Structure 1
């Protein structure tokens, strides 16, 4: 995810936070190269956000049109793999606390502060887009990811922390991470029936 994040910011400096499909296909590409069998998923997504001043909070997701997926992520070996939540603060209408990326086990129920609703599973041979110009741009992005991966020496850390389950959120809250502290409070106060899905 760290390599894809760097390539996304370099390729789309103005709006990398709106390119979750590119991020998902990039993660899939690099995971395949390492011998894994990842799948790109499309569907709906919302996560808890909190203002830096701790005065405003709510659920936020990515905008979408009728009949379209609002978000894309990767699933592999029973894990949701998604840098997308870390980009949500860039879309907020008010200053928002930094958020983590996600590598969450599907064996652990999703909490109230992180919701995924899959609608579409991309076939292994599925193209990024039926439109030639968009497919060409996606191919160029995937090439940049492969080149960066091949050139990478040593470990490249993702900018920020990665939420790997409830225990990781508790650990982040103990480090006084503002988002984690508020997410756990939100989880205690929120009834699942009140969530969008």
Structure 2
């Protein structure tokens, strides 16, 4: 997927590499860092982008295929959202969905990163509830130690993204619309096949609004 001059797979590959190297023990809990870095890089490339905070839930499937859940982040509010993502050019950008299996209750199969076009309604297997939308030029105010770490992470990602050396590998696939889901399922992706079944159910769990 391309947004202006930015290939999203390349951007996500850099963010993924940087966040796992910076926070190896809890990279799956660093969505704010990820969102801030994605936002900063897009803005630097002339792309209008905003950080959004709220709740997120996604379908997860156990490795044996016998259990399925809706897992994610909820319970936050406008002051302190439970999850952060970026929206640009009508696309929800959220690589952190792919980290849900790390702490899943069911030993979940691998999942894609998300670049979902809002031209298509969100499906049951990928749910977002917006709580707050920050201004494009937002300046977050953090406690000093957190602010320093966030800024250092942004600069680290920007440096790696601009590097002319070996590009980081995009380790998963990109969920952008139902067609991409169907393509992944045809190629045998277990999560994609399970998500299609989940979508067809008459009643599914939902995240709090």
Normalising by structure 1, what TM-score? Answer: 0.92
- Matched with 1:79 is 91
Q: Does 1:124 align with 2:113?
A: no
Cα distance, 1:166 vs. partner?
0.5
What corresponds to 2:7 in structure 1?
Answer: none
Out of 104, 116, 119, the position equivalent to 1:104 is 116
Distance 2:198 2:137 in 1: 40
Equivalent in the alignment of 1:10: 21
How far residue 157 of structure 1 moved from its aligned partner, in angstroms, is 3.8
Name 1:41's counterpart in structure 2: 52
Q: How many residues align?
A: 196
Q: Which residue of 2 aligns with 1:51?
A: 62
CA distance in 1: counterparts of 2:75 and 2:19, whole angstroms: 20
Q: Does 1:134 align with 2:146?
A: yes
In the alignment, what sits opposite 1:28? Answer: 39
Distance change (3 Å), C-alpha of 1:120 and 1:152: farther
**CA separation in 2, counterparts of 1:128 and 1:139?**
11
SS of the residue aligned with 2:58?
A: strand
Aligned to 2:174: 162
**Offset, 1:154:** 6.6
Shift of 1:153: 4.2
| Structure 2 stretches lacking a partner, 5+ long | 1-11
Indicate whether 1:175 and 2:187 are aligned: yes
Q: Which residue of 1 aligns with 2:158?
A: 146
Q: What SS is found at the alignment partner of 1:189? A: coil
Q: Which runs of 5+ in 1 are unaligned?
A: none
Within 2, Cα distance between the matches of 1:152 and 1:128?
Answer: 30
Q: Alpha carbons of 1:9 and 1:44: their partners in 2 closer, same or farther (altered >3 Å)?
A: same
CA spacing shift, 1:61–1:34, aligned 2, 3 Å: same
Which deviates the most, 8-17 or 145-154?
A: 145-154
Residues 127 and 135 of structure 1 are in contact (CA less than 8 Å); yes or no, is this contact kept in structure 2? no
